């Protein structure tokens, strides 16, 4: 059995999605404490000279709390710069005009929500719809570090844990035996970006604006890449 152990994120990337696709179950560690070095609250997008980060921040008073108890931060004014960054960097992308009105509405809805996790979940669900991702494995939530990793009613002879990339800082507290897969999808799967060259590790909004309904080709390519990097 393969379990993908990951943090929730408002800006999933291809690596995050790949581990979920190649698992039997995704363990979403919602009980982890917010870590500003993680990709929980931020995603990488293209810009003319490389990349930049966009953010959906956690309320500053909640940064030492489990993620499932964190609030959004309406006072930081994060929504306007995020939408401006999307428009400035992607207005010439093939599918920006097609998706922008709905994505703008998605983020406006998320910004009005008080729960950070619920806002991130809303954005994720909308992304899966736009990308037309086929059915994904089930999700089990880990609300605290003492919770069982897998449903005790299920029998698992062997469990291979796939952590998300660069995750040891927040996974050590779970006392897990981690299988650090060598596969780095962000450098294996490429697609056309409208700026020159290719920048790996961008979030799925970058992929959406560039590939649109042709995302199925990337899904097919990810299916063909085995967990052992073949």
Domain boundaries, the chain: 2-224
pLDDT at 154 over 80: no
For tokens 């408002």, name the residue.
Answer: 10
Averaged pLDDT of the chain: 86
* Token pair in block for residue 152: 């005790």
| Band (169; pLDDT cuts 50, 70, 90) | very low
d(CA 178, CA 169): 13
Q: Which of 145, 141, 140, 143 is nearest to 172 (CA)?
A: 145
Handedness of CA 227, 206, 67, 105 (dihedral sign): negative
**pLDDT in the model for residue 35:** 87
Structure-model confidence comparison of residues 185 and 53, the more confident one: 53
Average pLDDT over residues 69-79: 96
CA 110/CA 105 separation, integer angstroms:
9
pLDDT at 106 over 70: yes
- With a cut of 90, say whether residue 110 has pLDDT above it: yes
Report helix, strand or coil for 117. helix
Contacts 24+ apart (CB under 8 A), 125-130: 126/102, 127/12, 127/204, 127/205, 127/208, 130/99, 130/102, 130/103, 130/208
- Of the chain, the percentage scoring pLDDT greater than 70 comes to 80
Give 191's pLDDT tier (boundaries 50, 70, 90). very high
For the cut 50, the answer to whether the pLDDT of residue 173 exceeds it is no
Distances (CA, A) of 43 to 11, 97, 138: 5, 20, 24
Q: Which residue has the higher pLDDT, 167 or 47?
A: 47
């Amino acid at each position: 059995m393969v379990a993908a152990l990951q943090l929730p994120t408002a800006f999933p990337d291809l690596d995050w999605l790949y581990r979920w696709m190649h698992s039997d179950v995704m363990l979403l560690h919602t009980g982890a404490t917010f870590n500003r070095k993680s990709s929980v609250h931020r995603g990488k997008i293209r810009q003319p000279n490389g990349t930049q980060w966009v953010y959906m921040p956690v309320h500053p008073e909640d940064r030492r709390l489990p993620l499932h108890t964190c609030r959004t931060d309406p006072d930081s004014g994060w929504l306007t710069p995020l939408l401006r960054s999307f428009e400035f960097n992607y207005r010439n992308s093939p599918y920006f005009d097609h998706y922008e009105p709905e994505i703008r509405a998605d983020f406006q809805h998320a910004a009005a929500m008080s729960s950070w996790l619920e806002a991130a979940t809303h954005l994720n669900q909308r992304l899966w719809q736009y990308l037309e991702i086929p059915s994904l494995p089930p999700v089990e939530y880990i609300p605290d570090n003492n919770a069982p990793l897998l449903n005790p009613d299920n029998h698992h002879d062997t469990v291979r844990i796939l952590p998300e990339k660069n995750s040891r800082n927040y996974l050590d507290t779970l006392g897990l035996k981690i299988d650090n897969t060598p596969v780095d999808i962000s450098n294996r799967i490429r697609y056309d970006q409208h700026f020159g060259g290719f920048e790996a590790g961008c979030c799925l909004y970058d992929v959406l604006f560039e590939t649109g309904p042709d995302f199925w080709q990337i899904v097919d390519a990810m299916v063909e890449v085995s967990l052992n990097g073949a």
